[in-house]
Structure 1
């Protein structure tokens, strides 16, 4: 058909569905698809016009014509609709420069998203109508839904997330598209849509990952700034045991995003890797040395002075350590081998000793008790450096919430519990540090809120009690001399609390 005749046939199909030639509908969709993806699509006005024409065509076409089974071009209608849906999703996606321009690209992308979202709602409403029609009228609706579901999902997630290229209206439309998609697929949640609602039903995650895969390689993953967010959000919806079968498709993109130079992308990638560690069995993570690959990929991030990144890395490592330790075997006839946890703690303590930035100090301090608890008695290997770090952090005011000091007191208590035979030789240093802290808090009249002061005094008193048990009552004897000369009521109250608790629980060994 010549272009003029094709245009005439399209107009017939748009204005009078019943009178159109059998192949006119397919030709009309094919022409719009070429205008969205072909050479003329480089002009924005050409694509915008094609989108408006598509809306008019869908409005004028009954679902019986979209999903009927007949010869000619109609036989390929599900495939054509799928290609149109992919083109619409790409048309609404933010350009690469949206990351650099920030909010400047937002209104333009949001306007396109609202327009495309309305078309997706039209398409899904046609599927819903075809589904409720008698089977002989719309037998191809299932094939059409399979082609539409993936692009509709990618579009909905892209524009429903809080990102610079969105707006309240575009997010609302995207949310409606996602709700309509779940409704027409009979899925109660996004997780059910991705993994399948039951064992007999195949999930749609392979289709989604297949759509994202061309944009998730080393050369192209930054061409669309939304792809990484869609992948990350989708990955978070799939949990154990379903994630295992998609490990080969989800681990490489997660490593790729984590390996970027931008801190934001590093954090996103580490969170994806953390989700994989939590939701994939140990045996699968150890196979092909995957756990070691993850460990080495994120260990180097610990050298970055970004507290958000450090927090994400430490949380991921703490859940990765049990996996890595499964591959180690200790026979009991030799010293225990150094673990990955030892390696990370050694680096953390090195950074903590010289760190002066409050946010990083708090991040390290927040995770230190967990590391000591994770090593248990093996934390004795790091006892000297732990002592220096704890004493040093207890001396420095940490702001109104005193998070670092509180976490240091918690760390000290856990450390004394596991390494109590080595504590008595450190009695003088630890006792001075705890008493100095109590005196500083007692004299602080303005900076620290009362609830925080009370928490500090309570934790410090608890540490004195544990220290007394580790040192077989020596702390109680030394504090008895202070009571004779101390005039501060707060300090005296703490010392008396130590005496009372130590007298009620005499030392019998740890």
Structure 2
């Protein structure tokens, strides 16, 4: 189908096929692209969806077959960008999500039934346009392409990100088309992938498009209206994680407030998403910039308040996030160049140990236990300040099984192993309590029904901890274990004890030298 046939099918009035005074038309037709855009926009507003779908199909064909000099006439870049920008915005409006009139931020799924079909139709038109912009041989193509892609890429990217994720308003087809549209945007801007386009890796786009994208989202992320559009927060989160170090620091003032706002919501999913945004910022912004203007302190208070929750999905993201933030706020406890005063590391650990002591839900106990070993790793020797409470937690958590995986016990044994390694001089006085708890664990494991590989892992970890306790006590545990009555224990337990008592004391493990 040629351009004349397309314009005829679009029912362009004869008055709109007259030459436009600001440019001389070329080719075998006298139709101004600006007037065609205006006519299509009017028809899109007044027709039913079935008729709109036909118009969109014809518009896509128009972009594919139109002469380059007609599609990109020799006019000022500002005029050309304005025509295309308003036209693209009018197309995107036909796949826009309905606005929620309350603060619930959720709508019934049936309200989104026709959105995937609309999104696919609009995506096809935008892909046709981007394909022409990426392969345009017209004399004005270089300048026009740079101008148009910078103007159109942000709004098209936001539209594609809206329909990219698995949400009630998307389908498999619309998600696939959205992914292809993002690739087309990146290629049209001269980038190999979308993150490069956002951060500005190409020679023609050093600044990237992060600020332009965020400027589109910013009016929708205010305190009063960010819940009205269900897709806005998902688009913001997806866009944010595309921008990493070192580019993110340049946009910290733009992304920091919405992330805090979302994390402070009453809806659990929003809290989780907000904390993920904050964690991404912590990992990809230099510590000095986070400490500037007291941002890190604000972050700490916001995250610490979430530690009082019992919601597992939220704790799963808050604990790693606040652990990484502590490295920004405080010097490493392992640093010997400055006094090791109590700081926020101790505050967070005290809070975690308090909740671990009184927690009775297996799932939460498992979560806390898995977070404990990396935290002990970061605290290093200063863990000795908390040995009394840590000992109570370890003993209590080893007593309760969470079959069949035994994740809690394995994590607590790993925490005990790290504690002995970094605080070995203080372990001898705790030998009676910890040794008795580990021996009880050996007996319990041999009596419980567990998968063979899990049982082997628990036994190996327990033996390792007993060996470390023996090393730190200069062989005292070995002497105690040698007096165990072999008639009162199973063969498996006796074999484990034999591995402890039969292991040689490593050279260099003395009361005046550290554990190696």
Output the CA distance in 2 between the equivalents of 1:285 and 1:147: 31
Provide the aligned length of Structure 1 versus Structure 2: 492
Deviation at 1:423? 2.3
Deviations 1:439-473 (A, max 9, x none): 011112x3x11111001001111111111122222
More moved, 229-238 vs 100-109: 100-109
Deviation at 1:101? 4.2
Partner of 1:416: 420
Partner of 2:150: 146
Deviations 1:352-401 (A, max 9, x none): 11212222111111111111222222222222211111111100011211
Query: Is the Cα contact below 8 Å between 2:60 and 2:126 reproduced in 1?
Result: no
More moved, 88-97 vs 287-296: 88-97
Query: Is the Cα contact below 8 Å between 1:78 and 1:143 reproduced in 2?
Result: yes
Partner of 2:124: 118
Deviation at 1:243? 1.2
Output the CA distance in 2 between the equivalents of 1:301 and 1:65: 58
| 2:295 pairs with 1:293 | no
Partner of 2:279: 274
Output the CA distance in 1 between the equivalents of 2:129 and 2:141: 17
| Match of residue 494, structure 1, among 483, 491, 496 | 496
Deviation at 1:305? 1.2
| 2:245 pairs with 1:240 | yes
Output the CA distance in 1 between the equivalents of 2:17 and 2:140: 27
Gaps of 5+ in 2: 1-10, 20-24
| Match of residue 383, structure 2, among 379, 383, 396 | 379
Identify if the C-alpha distance between structure 1 residues 45 and 219 changes in structure 2 by more than 3 Å, giving closer, same or farther.
farther
Query: Is the Cα contact below 8 Å between 2:443 and 2:489 reproduced in 1?
Result: no
Alignment of 1:188-227 (within 5 A): 188-198=192-202, 201-202=205-206, 203-227=208-232
Alignment of 1:73-472 (within 5 A): 76-97=79-100, 100-101=106-107, 103-130=109-136, 133-136=137-140, 140-198=144-202, 201-202=205-206, 203-326=208-331, 336-444=340-448, 446=449, 448-472=450-474
The 3-state SS of whatever aligns with 2:321 is helix
Output the CA distance in 2 between the equivalents of 1:311 and 1:441: 28
When normalised by structure 2's length, the TM-score is 0.87
Output the CA distance in 1 between the equivalents of 2:49 and 2:348: 52
Output the CA distance in 2 between the equivalents of 1:46 and 1:210: 33
Query: Is the Cα contact below 8 Å between 2:127 and 2:184 reproduced in 1?
Result: yes
The 3-state SS of whatever aligns with 2:482 is helix
Identify if the C-alpha distance between structure 1 residues 11 and 388 changes in structure 2 by more than 3 Å, giving closer, same or farther.
farther
Query: Is the Cα contact below 8 Å between 1:89 and 1:116 reproduced in 2?
Result: yes
Output the CA distance in 2 between the equivalents of 1:458 and 1:289: 46
Deviation at 1:157? 1.8
Query: Is the Cα contact below 8 Å between 2:64 and 2:132 reproduced in 1?
Result: no
Alignment of 1:7-22 (within 5 A): 7-10=13-16, 21=30
Query: Is the Cα contact below 8 Å between 1:63 and 1:138 reproduced in 2?
Result: no
Query: Is the Cα contact below 8 Å between 2:158 and 2:213 reproduced in 1?
Result: yes
Identify if the C-alpha distance between structure 1 residues 473 and 86 changes in structure 2 by more than 3 Å, giving closer, same or farther.
same
Deviations 1:326-359 (A, max 9, x none): 599x9989x7332111111111111111212222
Output the CA distance in 1 between the equivalents of 2:486 and 2:142: 94
Query: Is the Cα contact below 8 Å between 2:187 and 2:193 reproduced in 1?
Result: no
Output the CA distance in 1 between the equivalents of 2:337 and 2:173: 64
Query: Is the Cα contact below 8 Å between 1:67 and 1:144 reproduced in 2?
Result: no
Deviation at 1:488? 0.8
Output the CA distance in 1 between the equivalents of 2:18 and 2:493: 92
The 3-state SS of whatever aligns with 2:402 is coil
Deviation at 1:139? 5.1
Deviation at 1:301? 0.9
Deviation at 1:223? 2.1
